[in-house]
Amino acid sequence: MVPPLLYGPVMVDFILRLTVAAVLILAAVNTIQGVALVVRLARHVARRQPQWGLNLWLPAFTSVDDIRSWLRAWREVLRPGDPVLAKIRTSARVVVGRHVYLALLSHTWAMTLSAIAPRLV
């Protein structure tokens, strides 16, 4: 038989509060960086396309050829070899990686707490 946990409910409550605070802080940082990333991408598209790239963001398709030209325009904007786009992609990988980390962190803590103290959760 496993001995009971010392300070069981208090410990679980503290771990939950600490985990929630860490997840919320990282989510706020991730949101700020994600918004900055979208702004950088919009500026990049605005520099490369006429009318600030409005036809890329809000396309009006009337035929299949319009769809093909829209995809071709996006490929032109997102072509490899552009140093600005390389920095945007690197930042996007960081944002996505941090999001995956947050999901794994919160699920890991929940599974750990349910394994350690099944009656307290």
Give the Cα separation of 23 and 48 in Å (integer). 37
Give the Cα separation of 85 and 40 in Å (integer). 9
Phi, psi of 61 (to 5 degrees): -90, 130
Give the Cα separation of 83 and 46 in Å (integer). 16
Question: What pLDDT was estimated at residue 24?
Answer: 86
Ordered by start, the domain boundaries in the chain are 20-116
Cβ neighbours around 110 below 10 Å, total: 13
Residue 16 pLDDT grade (very low, low, confident, very high; cuts 50, 70, 90): confident
Question: Average pLDDT of 61-74?
Answer: 92
Kindly report the pTM of this predicted structure.
0.69
Give the Cα separation of 86 and 98 in Å (integer). 18
